[in-house]
Chain A
Amino acid sequence: DTEVTQTPKHLVMGMTNKKSLKCEQHMGHRAMYWYKQKAKKPPELMFVYSYEKLSINESVPSRFSPECPNSSLLNLHLHALQPEDSALYLCASSRRRVSGNTIYFGEGSWLTVV
């Protein structure tokens, strides 16, 4: 089973709202990632968690707050977002956080900020 599950699939939120995106995998992977993808662009790395610890933050604004409560779950907390944050947010996981481990992506959460 090579599945990464993301919820919700679609989210519309106002600029003053607080919401969260959730990601789950049961493959025993110890590295999990958040990517952001704008229309017609490649995914851009936001955060990397390795063994439930944040190891990479690609200069992401603090209105995005990741959380890894356990080895199977990854959350992205959203607060005071801007309309330009509207995008597809992709979660991914791999066995470990090293080059050479196959990375599996979820279907993504479509976020619209109004």
Chain B
Amino acid sequence: GEDVEQSLFLSVREGDSSVINCTYTDSSSTYLYWYKQEPGAGLQLLTYIFSNMDMKQDQRLTVLLNKKDKHLSLRIADTQTGDSAIYFCGGGYSGYALNFGKGTSLLVTP
């Protein structure tokens, strides 16, 4: 599969902003995604961005895409303890399905 790199761990205080970063090698994806996985649960689609966009905002979530650097980020404003989870970025590489990064574990402390 294509290489998708993510930082493995992030710890923030409740109320602060979180920024989770992702870099990828293949620029052929049309959509790029962020999924959230809580302990013991499946994958929840959080948001996605078209590859021809630079930014997408959805309530507390802001996705930034830098196509030149092949860099995707997810910013969570006013992070809450319920946001503690693993966050996976992924794209529709090679024309089918998704390849995922290794996931970033976000820990939100009171």
Q: B102, A105: Cβ atoms under 8 Å?
A: no
Q: A99, B100: Cβ atoms under 8 Å?
A: no
Q: B43, A90: Cβ atoms under 8 Å?
A: yes
B30 at the A/B interface (Cβ < 8 Å)?
yes
Tell me, in angstroms, the Cα distance from A106 to B93 when the chains sit together.
Answer: 21
Q: B92, A101: Cβ atoms under 8 Å?
A: yes
Chain A's closest residue to B91 (CB) is: A99
Contact status of A100 and B30, CB under 8 A, knowing A90-B43, A105-B35, A106-B42? yes
Q: Majority SS of interface residues in chain A?
A: loop
Q: A104, B96: Cβ atoms under 8 Å?
A: no
Interface residues of A in 16-37 (CB under 8 A from B): 31, 33
CB-contact partner of A108 in B42, B48, B91, B101, under 8 A? B42
Tell me, in angstroms, the Cα distance from A77 to B93 when the chains sit together.
Answer: 27
Interface size class of A (residues with CB under 8 A): 20 to 34
A54 at the A/B interface (Cβ < 8 Å)?
no
The segment from A41-49, A61-69, A79-87 found at the interface with B is A41-49
B33 at the A/B interface (Cβ < 8 Å)?
yes
CB-contact partner of A42 in B42, B45, B88, B92, under 8 A? B88
A60 at the A/B interface (Cβ < 8 Å)?
no
Q: B96, A42: Cβ atoms under 8 Å?
A: no
Q: A42, B97: Cβ atoms under 8 Å?
A: no
Interface residues of B in 69-107 (CB under 8 A from A): 88, 91-103
Q: A56, B42: Cβ atoms under 8 Å?
A: no
Q: B31, A43: Cβ atoms under 8 Å?
A: no
Residues of A within 8 A of B62 (CB): none
Closest 9 A-B residue pairs measured CB to CB? A100-B30, A99-B92, A42-B100, A107-B42, A108-B42, A105-B43, A99-B95, A99-B30, A45-B97
Residues of B near any A CB (own CB < 8 A)? 1, 28-31, 33, 35, 41-45, 48, 88, 91-103
10 residue pairs bridging A and B, Cβ less than 8 Å apart: A6-B42, A42-B102, A43-B88, A55-B96, A99-B30, A100-B30, A101-B31, A103-B33, A103-B92, A107-B41
